[in-house]
């Protein structure tokens, strides 16, 4: 068993490619010896990712701020306490609203993301 404090997990800045704006990722569980991936992802106000598709199911749990989860046909506002279940193969994007920073925990297995 391992107990982790988010304040002890290094935040790695990500920009370009999948992300538009300033985004940091704190890898909670992302080692090569585990099939499970869990990351705390923090979006600055107005920062988002681009449309993308995973070949695995993904679960997002919103921890702070106001965000948007979108498919090609709809945009939905989400907030703290919300779970989002994204099935493999569904084209989507998510991120912060123009007026709020946004954080979520992303849980998935290892796989491929295309954008």
The per-residue pLDDT for 2 is 87
- How does pLDDT run across 56-112, given as a tens digit for each residue? 999 999 999 999 999 999 999 999 999 999 999 999 999 999 999 999 999 999 999
The per-residue pLDDT for 80 is 99
The answer to whether residues 17 and 115 touch, using CB atoms and an 8 Å cutoff, is: yes
Return the residue matching tokens 């990712």.
49
- How does pLDDT run across 10-55, given as a tens digit for each residue? 999 998 889 999 999 999 987 777 889 999 999 999 999 999 999 9
The per-residue pLDDT for 61 is 99
Question: Can you count the helices (H) and strands (E) in the chain?
Answer: 0, 12
Q: Is 114 helix (H, G, I), strand (E, B) or coil?
A: strand
Q: Pairing mode, if any, of strands 67-70 and 93-96? A: antiparallel
CB-CB neighbours of 78 under 10 Å: 20
Domains, the chain, ranges and CATH?
A: 6-114 (2.60.120.10)
The answer to whether residues 42 and 94 touch, using CB atoms and an 8 Å cutoff, is: no
The per-residue pLDDT for 85 is 98
């Amino acid at each position: 068993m391992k107990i982790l404090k988010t304040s002890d997990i290094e935040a790695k800045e990500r920009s370009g490619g999948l992300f538009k704006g300033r985004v940091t990722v704190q890898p909670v569980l992302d080692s090569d010896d585990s099939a499970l991936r869990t990351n705390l992802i923090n979006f600055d106000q107005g920062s988002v990712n681009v449309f993308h598709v995973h070949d695995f199911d993904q679960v997002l749990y919103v921890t702070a701020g106001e965000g948007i989860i979108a498919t090609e046909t709809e945009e939905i506002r989400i907030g703290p306490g919300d779970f989002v279940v994204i099935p493999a193969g569904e084209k989507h994007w998510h991120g912060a609203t123009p007026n709020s920073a946004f954080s979520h925990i992303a849980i998935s297995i290892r796989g491929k993301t295309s954008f």
